[in-house]
Amino acid sequence: SQTIHQWPATLVQPVGSPLSLECTVEGTSNPNLYWYRQAAGRGLQLLFYSVGIGQISSEVPQNLSASRPQDRQFILSSKKLLLSDSGFYLCAWNGGGPHNEQFFGPGTRLTVL
Amino acid sequence: AQSVTQPDIHITVSEGASLELRCNYSYGATPYLFWYVQSPGQGLQLLLKYFSGDTLVQGIKGFEAEFKRSQSSFNLRKPSVHWSDAAEYFCAVGGPSSSNTGKLIFGQGTTLQVKP
């Protein structure tokens, strides 16, 4: 069966520090991968998605970047964190089929101080 | 434009009472519709999905949803709510136009509180 992992689970970082969040999927190949952010009291905001290795699409301009160095690995990064980067970050995948069902990881809680 | 609207930001029901969470969508083609649930500090879990066929779909945890094309709605229901159902619920829409990317459009969510 397929599983999706995110780490770390929680992270507290000072403003201006770098960021690297990792997401890996097991049990499937060539998944579509997604990074979402949830700010407090708000819905899901799609940040990036990837349909293959090295293929990254950005949904909103921001202080973050994403990379997909391997088929089942998706990384969210920042060179210098802002206070507004605080939130709950969710990674998701789908099998690329026509029914677009997405499966979510457990999330990473990021607090920027 | 494609969009999903969940009109109720917050709903409170008594344990054992029935529940209906509303979802309206705007989508140019045949929609694929989903309901997800999120417990605090957790990821999203798929409750149910609609692609085609019978417009009343059954999901996990005793939930069901009905697709009404004429009303562009996909409301979530449960006959008797349990305290463990307290969570945030998201409606989402996708479809053939996004089959390559698999992107979904999510509503803003409805927070369900259950009174004992």
User: Residue range B65-82: average pLDDT?
Assistant: 97
CA distance B116 to chain A (A): 24
Q: Show residues of chain B in contact with A90, CB under 8 Å.
A: 43-44
Q: Show residues of chain A in contact with B42, CB under 8 Å.
A: 106-107
Q: Which of B64, B85, B83 is nearest to B75 (CA)?
A: B64
Chain B: residue whose CA lies nearest to A10: B41
Query: Which regions of chain B does DSSP assign to beta strands (E)?
Result: 3-5, 10-14, 19-21, 24-26, 32-38, 44-50, 56-58, 64-68, 73-78, 87-94, 105-106, 110-115
> A8, A109 in Cβ contact below 8 A?
no
pLDDT per position as a tens digit, A26-38: 999 999 999 999 9
pLDDT per position as a tens digit, A57-107: 999 878 899 999 999 999 999 999 999 999 999 999 998 766 678 999 999
CB contact under 8 A, B45 and A104: yes
CB contact under 8 A, B107 and A99: no
Q: B14 burial class (0-12, 13-18, 19+ CB within 10 angstroms)? A: exposed
Q: CA-CA distance, B70 to B54, in Å (whole number)? A: 15
